[in-house]
Amino acid sequence: MSTKGTSDAKDAENGASKGPSDAKRAESPHGTNALPEHVLEEIRELPARYPQHRSAVMPALDLAQEEVGYLTPEAMSEVAAALDLDPGYVEGVATFYTLFHLQPIGRHRFYVCTNLSCSLRGSSEIVEHVKKAIGVREAGEVSKDGLFSYEEVECLGACEYAPMMRLDHEYYYDLTPETITALVVERRAPLSAAAKASRRRTPVAAPDKAPPKKRVPRTKKIG
Ligand code: FES
């Protein structure tokens, strides 16, 4: 995951308390800043999966962000309380990683890798196409319908499949402008409640565990 800065990194690693952030906080687009009980329950169950219980902070923040739309101070406090962690430590983690947001973002987020391998294989073209497809001019801007935003991120660990990106909780490989268009059209289509629930709770597929289903070979064996 990409990071935002070194001082926050130290705080996050040390679990140091930073106190409340000065960053401007906006109201949640979903009209609430509190996490519902079923999300808090999921968060409380997370530490059992890790050798050190505070390692659960990242998936917990991910759940909170997914629920509220972005990480409000209230959501971060509730994560801290649910995990029995210092609120300053939780905020330090939230402010360190670029995949966590303290301001409203689109309901669907494109995280386009623009690091070396992806850059050599046309990530700038992909970024331009994402901007055009969702109707924004710059990273972080939310589309008029509130559905989309995009960011450029550092290596997501799937260089072999460049250019690639993460959209919400899934990785997409060997990107083309057509792939982007299809994904935007799909996300704009109305979903059934079941499909929405299934999409929201799909865990992020690690690149090494989820290779592309239809991998197109780029080289041919000669001779
Ligand atoms: S450079 Fe894009 S995934 Fe590594």
List, in sequence order, every beta strand (DSSP E) within the chain.
108-113, 148-153, 165-167, 170-172
Distance (Å, rounded) from C-alpha 181 to C-alpha 183?
Answer: 5
Cβ of 118 below 6 Å from ligand 1: yes
Cβ of 60 below 6 Å from ligand 1: no
Q: Quick one: pLDDT at residue 168?
A: 85
Q: How far is the CA of 1 from the centre of ligand 1 (A)?
A: 11
> pLDDT tens digits for the chain (223 residues)?
555 544 444 444 444 333 333 333 334 444 445 799 999 999 999 999 999 999 999 999 999 998 888 999 999 999 999 999 999 999 999 999 888 999 988 989 999 999 999 999 999 999 999 999 999 999 999 999 999 999 999 999 999 999 999 998 899 999 999 999 999 999 998 765 555 555 554 444 444 445 454 444 344 344 3
Q: Quick one: pLDDT at residue 1?
A: 55
Cβ of 158 below 6 Å from ligand 1: yes
- From residue 134, how far is each of 28, 90, 172, 180 by CA, in Å? 22, 32, 17, 10
Q: How far is the CA of 132 from the centre of ligand 1 (A)?
A: 22
Cβ of 156 below 6 Å from ligand 1: yes
Does the reported pTM lie above 0.85?
no
Q: Quick one: pLDDT at residue 136?
A: 97
Q: Quick one: pLDDT at residue 10?
A: 42
Q: Which domains does the chain have, with CATH numbers?
A: 6-96 (1.10.10), 108-200 (3.40.30.10)
